[in-house]
Amino acid sequence: DSQSKYSDELNQNLSACKNEFLTLFGKNRPELISVCAPGRVNLIGEHVDYNDGFVLPMAIPLYTVIVGAEHPFDDNNNKNTLCRVRSLEASLGDKNYIEFDLNDLHKRDKSQNWTNYIIGVVANFEGTVEPFDAVIKSNVPLGSGLSSSAALEVAMYTFLENLTKQFSSKENKALRCQKAEHAYASVPCGIMDQFISSMGKENNALLIDCRSYESKLFPLNDPDISVLVINSNVNHQLEGSEYSSRRKQCEDVSRVIGKRSLRDVTMQDLENNKDRIDQESFRRAKHAITEIDRTIEASKALYANDIITFGKLMNQSHDSLRDDFNVSCAELDSLVEIARYSGGVLGSRMTGGGFGGCTVTLVKTSHVNEVIENVKKHYKGVASFYVCKPCEGAHRIQ
């Protein structure tokens, strides 16, 4: 089944890293350290992290693996301060090997963009880093909204923890990885991706309060219900600019109403201030305010094992993202429609920032294949499918 397929892939990636490490960095090395960190899917709570809202992601069994060891002494038996890191992601072309000095952790230019995630984490590590060599491989698709970036950062951080035997709390680890992404990759991301990659628990979704950073596990382990992630395999590259304009509209509305963020604004407040807000911003705020409520309701439904209600909230979330927040696209809408017209589907929505990437569908396990077949038949592009159980966050493998 799909879960054993994922553990096979994890093992294959682990072997690939080890082989590459031995080929590239030699055999006479101290103990190899192997770690992994998962990607994630957000079940509900979209575009609300920057409004101080709630999100409800789960870690998925796609992992970024890192295998490495301390950098060896040089020919004069001196320890230098160099680190070498190789990524086996083919799409990165020949720029997938870097060398950097621990005394010079500067941000790299665009052509070496991926290395900034690594150097950023090293620079933000809560402790003293020893020089190291490492090899990375991942089956989290890059740039598809399943958070390969956080998986990479959190895996790197976890590797450094095990290398240096200096361990941070899972929350601090996530916060430092987020900081790395802000400062080195110049992505103003929220806290969700790093939190769930660091704190994910098998058979549980994680409700995260993006204001207080408090988080709470909610069981999602009914074998009759499956989470199906479908990658549209399109990316309309609008996310950056559209993201900042949505963010600004939300902030403007809360300012007009005199509240700190949309977390503190009710639909009644919004209605009362209708005359002072343009129609588009009104719809943006309406999405955020109702989505925050839906996310809380969804966590309550999970707690009560009321999967029907959960599915309905997912559907409402998509409709709101499509009609009011306008961050969906034809491909995502099509995947959602196809899923909703299939048997056994409780709810389906786009997930992630939008304009491409993935959808997430809650479906009776008995109907997973039916949905997949329908998408293969009716979706105009080529989709990829991931049947996911909530899995464990970052950890050492060996």
113 makes contact, choosing from ligand ADP, Mg ion, none, with CB < 5 to 8 Å by partner type, with: ligand ADP
Q: Residue 14 in contact with residue 67, Cβ under 8 Å?
A: yes
Task: Examine residue 235 and tell whether it contacts ligand ADP (CB under 6 A).
Answer: no
Of 22, 92, 105, 129, the one binding ligand ADP by CB under 6 A: 92
Task: Examine residue 162 and tell whether it contacts ligand ADP (CB under 6 A).
Answer: no
* DSSP label of 47: S
Binding part of the chain for Mg ion, among 58-66, 111-119, 139-147, 268-276 by CB under 5 A, reads 139-147
- Minimum Å distance from CB 295 to ligand ADP? 20
Task: Examine residue 149 and tell whether it contacts Mg ion (CB under 5 A).
Answer: yes
Task: Examine residue 215 and tell whether it contacts ligand ADP (CB under 6 A).
Answer: no
- Look-up: residue for tokens 């899972």? 170
* Residue 272 CB partners (closer than 8 Å, separation 6+): none
Task: Enumerate helices (H) and strands (E) in the chain, giving the number of each.
Answer: 11, 13
Q: Residue 388 in contact with residue 139, Cβ under 8 Å?
A: no
Task: Say how many CA atoms lie within 13 Å of 138 toward its Cβ.
Answer: 28
Coil, helix or strand for 313? helix
Task: Examine residue 42 and tell whether it contacts Mg ion (CB under 5 A).
Answer: no
- Minimum Å distance from CB 265 to ligand ADP? 29
**Token digits of residue 141:** 């698709």
Tell me the number of residues near Mg ion by CB under 5 A: 2
**Token digits of residue 193:** 């991706």
196 or 277, CB closer to ligand ADP?
196
Shortest CA distance to 156 belongs to which of 202, 114, 188, 206?
A: 114
Tell me the C-alpha distance between 198 and 59, whole Å: 9
- Look-up: residue for tokens 């719809």? 283
Tell me the C-alpha distance between 23 and 232, whole Å: 36
Stretch (H or E) spanning 196: helix 192-199
Task: Examine residue 231 and tell whether it contacts Mg ion (CB under 5 A).
Answer: no
21 or 114, CB closer to Mg ion?
114
Tell me the C-alpha distance between 350 and 367, whole Å: 19
80 makes contact, choosing from Mg ion, ligand ADP, none, with CB < 5 to 8 Å by partner type, with: none
Q: Which of 49, 133, 193, 324 is catalytic?
A: 193
Within 175-194, which residues bind ligand ADP (CB under 6 A)?
Answer: 187
Within 24-83, which residues bind ligand ADP (CB under 6 A)?
Answer: 64
Would you call 193 a catalytic residue per the annotation? Answer: yes
- Minimum Å distance from CB 386 to Mg ion? 17
- Minimum Å distance from CB 143 to ligand ADP? 4
Residues taking part in catalysis = 193
Q: Give me the residues that bind Mg ion (CB under 5 A), please.
A: 147, 149
Q: Give me the residues that bind ligand ADP (CB under 6 A), please.
A: 64, 87, 89, 92, 113-114, 117, 136, 138, 142-149, 152, 187
